Each structure stands twice: as C-alpha cells, then as structure tokens.
Amino acid sequence: MNNKERIIAQIKGEEVDNIPIIGGWSLGVKNMAELGGISVEEYLKEPENSVIEINKKLGVSGMVQYIVPKDIDAIRDGDLQEETFNDVEPEVILERAEKIPDNERDIIKSKVNYDLMYKKYYDYIGDMQAKMGDICYIITDWYVPVTFSLYFSYGYIAFLSGAALYPESLEKIWWEDSIIKREHNYAMLNVIRDLDMVPIIFTGDDICNNSGPMINPDFLHENFWPHNKRALEPLVENGIRLIHHCDGNVMPIVDDMVAAGYSGFQGFQYECGVDIYDLRKRKSLLGEEMIIMGGLSVTRTLPYGTKEDVINEVNYSVDATDNGRGLFLFTSNVTGVEMPPKNLITAYDYLKSNDWKNSNRSKVVSPPALNVPIKLDMPDRFSV
C-alpha cells in the first residue's frame, strides 16, 4: 500500500498493511537533527525541507501542518501571554455583537467572498501537498468550526468575563461565525475534491483546561454546539472526516462534539481522565467508528517514559481501537525539547515492526501512569 491508499483504507475501516503514522509536530532544532540522523548545521541549511525529509525517514504516512523549528535556543512556540491584554475589558464581547447584522444575507454579503476563500485554500493546500510528495498532507485548519477561543483576540480574562456578563452577545458572535464558516466549508469541500485530497480535516479548538470546559457545558450545549453543527454540515454530509484536537479534560463535551459532526479525536491528556476506550464507544452522525489520532503522550510518556513505557502506550492505543481500527499513531500535541528523540523513534519503529501484533502479549487497558505533576494550563471554568 502507498501512503494515500493506507490512510483512505484506515478512514474507511478497511484492512491496512500497517497502522498509519502521522508526523509534523516536534519542537527543537537539536531534536529534529537527531531524529533525522543529521547534524544541526545540515538541518539549518533548509529547515522546512529538513522537517519533511526527516519525517519521510521516520516512515510517516501523513503530516499535519508542520512546525519548523529554526531557533536553536527556542523551547516553546506560540504561547499566549495574558499580560498583553491588560487593557481589554469584557465589554469587547458586547461591542462586537452590537455590530453584527441581524440577518444572514447581510452577513454573507459583507463578510464572505467564496472565490477568494477557494483560491486561498486551493493554493495553500496544493502547495503543502506538493512539498510533501508521497506523504499525505492531513489538512489542518483551525477555522473550520465556529471559533470558541476568542481569548486569542481578547485574552482569557476579558473573554471569559464577557461570556459571563453578556452570554447573549457571545451567542450572537457564534451565530455570525457559523454563517461565515459554513460558506468557508463549502469552499474547502470543493478544494478537497478538486485536489483529490484524503477526506480528513484536523481541526477543533481548545475549549477545556485540565479540569473541564472553561465555560459551563450546559451553556455550550445550548448556545455553541448547534452553531457548530450548522457550520460543519457541508463537510460532514459529503463524507469528510473531522478530527477534533483535544487538550485537557474533554470528556464532558465529547457527546456534543459528535453531535456537531466530529467523527474522530486527536490528542488526549490521560492524566485528565481522557480514555480512548470510552471515546471509541461512540458512532458518528453517519454511523462511522471514531477515528483516533494520537496515543503518544507529550506530557508524560514521550518526555519521561522508558522504552517499555513507550511500547506499552502504543499497545494501549492499538488495544483500545480493536487492534488498530481507525487508529493513526500521532503525538498528543507538540513534542517539547525535553523529549528524548529516541522515545519517538522507539514508538514508530515498534509500530512499523508489526511486533504489536504479537498474540501472546497481554492486552493493555490503560496508558502508563507516570508520576508527573499536572499543571493547569488555562483558567478555571466560568459559568454563564
């Protein structure tokens, strides 16, 4: 099987020669060089091309929108700094909602340019696939769903305080966004068809911290997820599998994700109570088995685990998905510079060796429980 055949067969739940591996999310110039068996100097000559060639060497079938480390001293990428929003007040939610037209026609007329959307995505996705060659580009687009994470525009405090003070205004913002995103997704659908891309999109939004959703899940059930469903319909009804990135404890909103049109999950912080066995119990709106993209913990096993821990985590993902059905082995998030590259190589080599098919090994029902402290990465939940 070539990479495209393998990925499409795995999406459909058909027999594959091996479980597909997904790459593209690793930090650290030195780590990348070690993963590729090259010098730092060789890597830095052409960093973007190096990332692609290193992933080819690692044997991945697909890549998400990849990260290209360039600063040899960098240890993180893209952190949101709350202090940059000190002057933003919660009323920004109210003021934004007041400017939104009251009918769909005016929103589309003023904010939607289908031809521009189509060209933008046709050019970008086509370019990404051309760069990757026989590796399949897993379309990565955070603008497919209605945007929850307005904290990137206003900061956590202003956004969450505004949600609590002006819930009707927040819901109107989501309503407008659903109209824009629906048109966006019609353009995306046609790009996928015209470029003959694999029918899968990696998307989603960071909605949860380690204790659960940042906003009351009952409010989200009534005022957020229905707008998402409307936005996602063009893709879902035409067989495009949507994979939701999952940070924190997403379990309280998993059923709402599925009802909105998602048919797979990526990420998983096991220390927050996320359980692949539980996720796999669900069926998509079209009756499909859930796709699981992930399995390798970047908060515990990859940075701190032994070789045996890494192998055990791969086996857990395989066993939780009924011998790897619908599984795409991937990291739970971006691997940090603290990860020994040999751990990622161990995971990939073990999967490619087919040793996981050993019928004599014990079934793994939980991932390695390493003693690593949990750090909250977002504010606690706000109720509205």
pLDDT tens for 139-150 read 999 999 999 999
Other beta carbons within 10 angstroms of residue 361's beta carbon come to: 14
Cβ atoms of 198 and 11 within 8 Å: the answer is: yes
Segment 311-330 shows an average pLDDT of 96
Residue 78 is predicted with a pLDDT of 61
Residue 366 — very low, low, confident or very high, per pLDDT cuts 50/70/90?
confident
103 pLDDT above the threshold of 70: yes
380 pLDDT above the threshold of 70: no
Q: H or E element: which one contains 37?
A: none
Residue 382 — very low, low, confident or very high, per pLDDT cuts 50/70/90?
very low
pLDDT digits (tens, 9 = 90+) for 233-247: 999 999 999 999 988
Residue 384 — very low, low, confident or very high, per pLDDT cuts 50/70/90?
very low
Segment 96-121 shows an average pLDDT of 96
Other beta carbons within 10 angstroms of residue 239's beta carbon come to: 14
376 pLDDT above the threshold of 50: no
Residue 360 is predicted with a pLDDT of 83
Residue 194 — very low, low, confident or very high, per pLDDT cuts 50/70/90?
very high
Residue 381 is predicted with a pLDDT of 41
Contacts of 355 (CB under 8 A, 6+ apart): none
Q: How far apart are CA 268 and CA 277, in angstroms?
A: 12
Residue corresponding to tokens 């909602």: 97
Residue 378 is predicted with a pLDDT of 44
Residue 111 is predicted with a pLDDT of 95
268 pLDDT above the threshold of 70: yes
CATH class of residue range 3-357 = alpha beta
Overall pTM surpassing 0.85 (yes/no): yes
Residue 72 is predicted with a pLDDT of 86
pLDDT digits (tens, 9 = 90+) for 39-62: 999 999 999 999 999 999 999 999
Q: How far apart are CA 321 and CA 276, in angstroms?
A: 8
Q: Domain-by-domain residue ranges, the chain? A: 3-357
Residue 379 is predicted with a pLDDT of 44
Q: H or E element: which one contains 110?
A: helix 104-111
Q: Across 132-136, 206-210, 269-273, 350-354, which has the greatest mean pLDDT?
A: 132-136
